[in-house]
């Protein structure tokens, strides 16, 4: 961990030999390693919630302006990225209708659309997050979202990188210089209770997953969130803007200097009330009066240039588009909009692949405990569709879809207009239903021209 409290990749990596025995001492060692990087996660959380470093700086000496301004770029970047990536729910499809219904029921029961959006936000803030699967009292599979402050996963050191055990804190209290820790440890055969007072790792319950029911979701391979990429820029921006406010306050409270003038208190009061300075009798050639304000050098231009540069770097480094940029929507072309948002799309595509991999692992666990599903490998055929939330040019989309008519399938054609057709399966069913209605309501040709069956026989 460097002097700024940012952990390196080795400190973020939790691995163990795949054949190692998981004992109390082993778990204790990884918990201590994890506790060392929790302050970093707390720093990222504070930046998102607006508890910026500018508010904790040492107060200036008496008499000096001391403004503290925190611009929450971190929240803007995270919320914008989350809305773009997960504002539209991830779509799921499966060739087997009963399996698809099973997935739909699982998602509705666990509010998975909201879980996915929350997990996307967690990854943007911290760089990673987790989903925990468990069985409730009705034997239904449930999902809980876990932040990297609440727990962690340990993987094997080999190329398989398979989870070996997971830890979720049930009690983590720091008092009197000591840390009280109780945690649930997830192993392939069941859950164990870790207690640092009794120094024990005790079996709590067995389950049927035969694997670790905890899945890691990451922002990227390095597990770096968007906030980590801009935290120093945000702090510098806040510091510069606060000093600029101090300069404004300094000039508003500037001292008036009067050299060579001798006034009594009543005259000074008149000066304040009327805002007029009179020197009294005409000056002699040997007399010299100097009246003016004490000023310090004005760095307004330098400060503005620095603020502009920092703001541009914040959007550039976080790969987030600035929706307040007047130039962003100067062109109505859908292609032009996509080009302007290409950086955000590129980073989202990386995140999409990581999420799809994690979601596949989660559904692999889910179908292991579904007794009514004979083929436990049905998770392999789940199709995922990520529909990024971005400004759409529906006219361009409609023209593209029209051009595909007769060239591609109806499903592929509908995919070209996601802003108008969010659920392709539902739309295909509506089209089929309308076609049947049209077929049933069509009047036979012989009835239209008035030919009866008897006339036809004759």
Q: Is 166 helix (H, G, I), strand (E, B) or coil?
A: strand
Selection from 167, 166, 81, 109 nearest residue 350 by Cα: 81
DSSP state of 105: H
Backbone angles phi, psi at 26, to 5 degrees: -65, -50
CA 184-186-192 angle, 5° bins: 50
pLDDT along the chain (458 residues), means of 10: 84 94 96 94 95 88 82 95 93 92 95 96 97 92 96 95 95 73 93 92 87 95 93 93 82 64 69 59 61 66 89 92 69 66 90 96 93 86 89 75 86 79 80 82 61 54
**pLDDT value at residue 390:** 74
What is the rounded distance in angstroms from the CA atom of residue 211 to the CA atom of residue 164?
Answer: 9
Q: Torsions phi, psi of 155, nearest 5?
A: -110, 165
pLDDT score at 446: 59
Overall residue count recorded for the chain in this entry: 458
pLDDT at residue 418, as a whole number: 72
Cα–Cα distance list, 444 to 353, 441, 449, 450 (Å): 53, 9, 9, 10
Beta carbons of 186 and 165 less than 8 angstroms apart: yes
Closest to 147 in 3D by CA, of 165, 121, 171: 121
Q: Are 393 and 337 contacting, i.e. CB atoms less than 8 angstroms apart?
A: yes
Of the candidates 68, 233, 220, 218, the one whose C-alpha atom is nearest the C-alpha of residue 153 is 218
Helix ranges, 202-264 (H): 226-252
**Side-chain half-sphere CA neighbours of 148 within 13 A:** 33
Q: Are the C-beta atoms of residues 195 and 184 closer than 8 Å to each other?
A: no
**The dihedral sign for the CA sequence 237, 238, 240, 245:** positive
Please tell me whether residue 68 adopts helix, strand or coil conformation.
coil
> What is the model's pTM?
0.78
Element (H, E) at 413: helix 410-415
């Amino acid at each position: 961990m460097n002097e700024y409290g940012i952990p390196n990749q080795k400190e973020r990596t939790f691995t163990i030999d795949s054949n190692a025995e998981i004992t109390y001492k082993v778990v204790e060692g990884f918990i201590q390693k994890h506790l060392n990087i929790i302050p970093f996660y707390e720093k990222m959380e504070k930046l998102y919630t607006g508890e910026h470093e500018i508010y904790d700086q040492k107060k200036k000496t008496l008499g000096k302006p001391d403004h503290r301004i925190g611009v929450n770029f971190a929240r803007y970047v995270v919320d914008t990225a989350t809305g773009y990536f997960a504002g539209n729910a991830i779509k799921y499809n499966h060739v087997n209708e009963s399996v698809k219904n099973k997935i739909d029921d699982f998602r509705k029961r666990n509010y998975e659309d909201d879980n996915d959006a929350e997990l996307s936000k967690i990854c943007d803030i911290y760089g990673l997050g987790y989903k925990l699967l468990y069985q409730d009292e009705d034997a239904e599979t449930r999902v809980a979202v876990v932040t990297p402050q609440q727990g962690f996963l340990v993987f094997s050191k080999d190329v398989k990188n398979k989870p070996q055990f997971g830890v979720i804190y049930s009690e983590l209290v720091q008092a009197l210089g000591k840390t009280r820790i109780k945690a649930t440890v997830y192993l392939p055969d069941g859950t164990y209770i870790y207690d640092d007072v009794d120094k024990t790792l005790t079996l709590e319950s067995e389950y049927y997953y035969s694997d670790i029911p905890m899945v890691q979701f990451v922002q990227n391979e390095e597990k770096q969130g968007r906030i980590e990429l801009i935290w120093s820029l945000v702090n510098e921006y806040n510091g510069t803007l606060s000093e600029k406010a101090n300069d404004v306050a300094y000039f508003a409270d500037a001292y008036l200097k009067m050299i060579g003038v001798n006034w009594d208190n009543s005259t000074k009061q008149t000066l304040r009330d009327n805002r007029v300075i009179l020197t009294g009798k005409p000056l002699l050639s040997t007399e010299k009066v100097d009246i003016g304000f004490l000023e310090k050098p004005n760095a307004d231009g330098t400060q503005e240039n620095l603020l502009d540069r920092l703001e541009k770097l914040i959007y550039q480094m976080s790969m987030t588009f600035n929706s307040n940029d007047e130039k962003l929507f100067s062109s109505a072309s859908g292609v032009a909009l996509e080009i302007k948002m290409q950086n955000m799309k590129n980073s989202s595509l990386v995140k999409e692949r990581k999420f799809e991999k994690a979601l596949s692992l989660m559904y692999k666990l889910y179908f292991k405990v579904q007794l009514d599903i004979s083929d436990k490998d049905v998770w392999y055929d789940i199709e995922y569709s990520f529909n990024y939330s971005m400004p759409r040019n529906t006219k361009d989309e409609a023209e593209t879809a029209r051009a595909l008519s007769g060239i591609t399938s109806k499903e592929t054609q509908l995919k070209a207009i996601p802003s108008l057709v969010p659920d392709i399966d539902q739309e295909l069913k509506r089209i089929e239903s309308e076609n049947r209605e049209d077929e049933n309501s069509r009047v036979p040709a012989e009835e239209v021209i008035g030919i009866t069956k008897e006339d036809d026989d004759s």
